[in-house]
Structure 1
Amino acid sequence: MKEEGARGTHVLVFPFPAQGHINPMLQFCKRLASKGLKVTLATTLFITKIAHNEVSNIRVEGISDGFDEGGMKEAESPYAYLERFQIVAPQSLAELIEKQESSGYPFRCLIYDSMMPWALEIAKRFGLVTASFFTQSCANDAIYYNVKKGLLSIPVEGPTVSLPGLPILGIHDLPAFIYNWESYPPFLELVLNQFQNVEKADCLLINTFDKLEDEVLKWMSKLYPIKTIGPTMPLIYLDNRVEDDKDYGLSLFQPSKETYMDWLNMREAGSVIYVSFGSFAELGDEQMEELALGLKSSNHYFLWVVRKSEENKIPKSLVEAKSEKGLVVAWCSQLEVLAHNAVGCFMTHCGWNSTIEAVSLGVPMIAMPQLADQTTNAKFVEDVWEVGVRVKLDEKGIARREEIEQCVKEVMEGDRREQIKKNAFRWKVLAKEAVDEGGIQIRTLKNL
């Protein structure tokens, strides 16, 4: 697919049905459409029913995952969902491609989430060009590659691990699916199978940018034809190359109606801690209480996102106090908040989307990883990019109020504050340069 012949080419993009996977792939869809390609996003029928917002210039098609009325929540367990999904979705995807063949705009290329390697075989059956889209960091991808190829054994032996292109990693710097592998067998299989047949793909697209993960990208590029296409976030926050590109698009959560932006507007520059643990992580009751008390005792303003399903875990003492120092909302526009000058740091679970957003917007972080790839991302936040600190857990795996308060003070007012801010600003500049160099442009596909 040469760039000069790209206009009018119809691309099918197929993300794994989770918000953290949909967002970066949908954002990439918008960039492709802005360059004149015809783009269709395929997602589950359930998601098409519940998704908020619309995406201009992107056609959305629903396919069955076997749970059309309730998605993953309709299944008995995440494991049951994945088992059914991998039976029903391939057939539904093939039917969509076949149906499109009889139209005036058949698909020419399939960009599929690397978590669904079976999609490649379907695309090849129809003669489509293929690109496997890795939504996580290259560092995590490299770790999973080493495990898949038997170069890193599970269970991991020794207190540290040395892998090509990566810093020395402690056991708990590895993805949770690796160091706690017995707790996540189906998910471990899911991430390892990204490399099941990827050598057959025409290209690998990784949601990162060169300077952010320079060493590990150089190593991975010797193995596969890699194109970096990050940071995949709305360009109004980077260079506004796509006019009025403010939101990712489809959202599985209804944004809060609280006037959190009005609240932020009343705060001084750099005075607010933004706290959010994403769309999937669930903190236990004890951890919620420790977090609430730690934030309160830090004596800094905080904007805390607590999903409606988690609201019952908020300590009554915090609710009853109604302190002007804190505002709790059910959901918000994260990018809009991170870009606000009142925000001084981001307490985050270190999901890759949240991490790369904070890096790209120059926001210092307090890393409090929960699961999956987040532990590795937290390692990079603190020790590689040096844009934040990581909370320490006690013997029960709980971040205590004193530790949370100490981390807040270190980032917001401690001796390291200015250096962390300086490092964060540097990465913000480099993220913008990545876009200028064509990190998220159509020419990433011109050699396919």
Structure 2
Amino acid sequence: MVSGGQQQEEAHVAVLAFPFGTHAAPLHALARGLAAAAPLVWFSFFNSAKSNASLLQGGDAPPNLKFYDVSDGLTAGFAVNPRNPEEEIELFMQVTPGNFRDGIEKAVRSASGASISCVVSDAFLWFAGDLAREMGAGVPWVPLWTGGIRSLSAHIYTDALRTIVGVGEEGGAVMATKADTELGFLPGMSGTRVRDLPEGIVFGNLSSVFARLLHRMGQELPLATAVVLNTFDVLDPAINDDLRAKFKACHLVGPLNLLLPPPQHPELDSDPSGCLRWLDKLPRGAVAYVSFGTVMSPPPGELAELAEGLESCGAPFLWSLKEKLRARLPAGFLERTQARGLVVAWAPQPLVLAHPATGAFMTHCGWNSVMESLAGGVPMVCRPFLGDQRLNARTVASLWRVGVEFEAGKMTRDGVVGALGAVLGSEEGRKMRERACALGEAAREAVQQGGSSAEALQAVVKVICGSGDA
């Protein structure tokens, strides 16, 4: 357990979550860790009811961490419009920051009138800095960036990128003429290209709610008391140094899945589908694990190509696939591959990636998944879809060299066979695993007592307790 030194009994920290995708989980982990380290401080966690329910399934929070539901802006019976996947975010942003103000007022009353002494938030919620200032002079704002730091750097440099690269109508012209332009003019970004950037920076809909939110975030983060990053020192040292120069203070506390692992609940079965028992029967490094996270899924055509590739490659595979998507698999696929394949609705991913039988991870390259794969020393086969996933995939395959990407960015039968063959059965694949294992070992050293990430978390505790400099 870390210690924050002298703590103020009346300290009260507001924690503001972004309730979409996998954003809330890392912030929840950070809040749990801070609350455990500062038991005399009140922590109030504000999130949508739906997201809070997901975080709290079967778990106990520290006694000084309380959860509050805030309005998500949705009406009763709301259904997601598949043609406008950002609609939920748009509706949520329409009721912010008023929903958080309402929640904070309730939390202050519940905490015996203890006013807010610090605001911790998801970095997306740039207005949290304004809320902190409203709470009083000197109230710190501490945002957590949950994604990869290359994408954070891109958001910080959005105006420079738009000036240097330029933008076309809806950004489309940029992709046609400058997609392969390298970003070496930005610190630490050599080897990445314009095409790898998240949408909304120089291509895509630059005026969407999400693009404008991230642009404003990049302008506001340098004003924060301290910025917390879910990474560790050795991954991207040049970008780490640049961000430290941009921010008042910058604390690298990752990987959060190692530093602050989820609580264990002995009464719950952590492996209801029997994935780990199935892996126990297979040779070391032989299995391809396939999962594209809880939000994304491949287009129907690619899903079928992926299935055909898994059937043709000959390697044992574990595939985490939602039940509703199984109808899109080729006829007879499950029956033909049941001797060496296991398809489940959910898998305990960190445990699967830590299992010695897992030799490759086919992933969308969400940052949490990348961190978990490195922690397990497992090379990746990358099929990114949106946001920072392309930058993460480029970093994994071309810069860290612990994985491969698909040609033209899409899965085909032959592409799946070739990618898995390269990772599981080649000399270069063996070297990928060695490099991944080395990064995993560095990650474990960072989170041990005295390690860089553990020390960084102590620094964050001191900020939120008001007992130290940022």
TM-score relative to the length of structure 1: 0.88
- Matched with 2:145 is 134
Partner residue in 1 for 2:210? 187
CA 1:3–1:269: 2 relative to 1, 3 Å: same
Counterpart in the other structure of 1:114: 123
Written as runs of structure 1 = structure 2, the 5 A alignment for 1:183-262 is 185-225=208-248, 226-235=250-259, 245-247=261-263, 257-262=272-277
* CA distance 1:89–1:188, shift in 2 (3 Å): closer
Matched residues in 2 for 1:372 and 1:11: separation?
A: 30
- Following the alignment from structure 1 to structure 2, what is the Cα–Cα distance between the partners of residues 184 and 309? 34
Q: Secondary structure at the match of 1:405?
A: helix
Counterpart position of 1:25: 27
Q: How many residues align?
A: 432
1:321 alignment partner in structure 2: 336
> Residue 39 of structure 1: SS of its match in structure 2?
strand
Q: Tell me how far apart the structure 2 counterparts of residues 295 and 179 of structure 1 sit (CA, whole Å).
A: 36
Instruction: Report Cα offsets for 1:241-269 as digits up to 9, x if no partner.
Output: x7xx44599xxxx9873222221121121
Matches of 1:372 and 1:247 in 2, distance apart? 29
| 1:404 equivalenced with 2:416 (yes/no) | yes
User: Is contact 1:278–1:349 with CA below 8 Å preserved after alignment?
Assistant: yes
Q: CA deviation at 1:431?
A: 0.5
Aligned to 1:101: 108
**Change in 2 beyond 3 A, CA 1:101/1:169:** same
Deviation at 1:390, TM superposition (A): 1.2
**Structure 1 residue matching 2:339: 3-state secondary structure:** coil
Structure 1 residue 198, shift from structure 2 partner: 2.3
Going from structure 1 to structure 2, the CA distance change for 1:368 and 1:183 (only over 3 Å counts) comes to: farther
> What is the rounded CA distance, in whole Å, between the counterparts of 1:49 and 1:28 in structure 2?
17
Alpha-carbon deviation of 1:24?
Answer: 1.2
**Structure 2 SS opposite 1:268:** coil
Q: Distance in 2 between matches of 1:222 and 1:72?
A: 44
Q: Which runs of 5+ in 2 are unaligned?
A: none
CA–CA separation in structure 2 for the residues paired with 1:75 and 1:40: 34
Structure 2 residue aligned with 1:10, among 9, 12, 28? 12
Aligned ranges for residues 317-356 of structure 1 at < 5 Å?
Answer: 317-356=332-371
Residues 163-209 of structure 1: CA distance to partner in whole angstroms, max 9, x if unpaired? 22212323332224446514993332232221242233211111111
Q: 2:362 touches 2:381 (CA, 8 Å); kept in 1?
A: yes
> Structure 1 205/281 Cα, relative in aligned 2: closer, same or farther at 3 Å?
same
Inter-CA distance 87–173: structure 2 relative to 1 (3 Å threshold): closer
Shift of 1:385: 1.2
Amino acid at match of 1:138: I
User: 1:211/1:227 Cα in 2 relative to 1: closer, same or farther (>3 Å)?
Assistant: same
| 8 A Cα contact 1:161 1:171, kept in partner | yes
Q: Which one of 165, 172, 181 corresponds to residue 160 of structure 1?
A: 181
Give the conservation status (yes or no) of the 8 Å contact 2:44–2:107.
no
1:326-378 deviation line (CA, Å, top 9, x unaligned)? 11111121111111111111111100110111112211111111111111001
Preserved CA contact (<8 Å) 1:65 1:84? yes
The AA in structure 2 aligned to 1:222 is: A
Secondary structure class of the residue paired with 1:84: helix
Q: Is the 8 A contact 2:206 2:212 kept in 1?
A: no
Matching of residue 284 in structure 1 with residue 299 in structure 2: yes
The RMSD of aligned alpha carbons is: 2.7
Q: 1:112 aligns to what SS in structure 2?
A: strand
Give the SS at the match of 1:42: strand
- In structure 2, relative to structure 1, the CA distance for the partners of 1:39 and 1:151 (3 Å cut) is farther
SS at match of 1:89: coil
2:80 matched to 1:73? yes
- The whole-number CA distance in structure 2 between the counterparts of 1:292 and 1:419 is 27
Question: Are the aligned partners of 2:157 and 2:218 in contact in 1 as well (CA < 8 Å)?
Answer: no
CA distance in 2, matches of 1:368, 1:343: 18
| Greater shift in the superposed pair: 284-293 or 11-20 | 11-20
Q: TM-score, normalised by structure 2?
A: 0.84
Q: Is the 8 A contact 2:383 2:410 kept in 1?
A: no
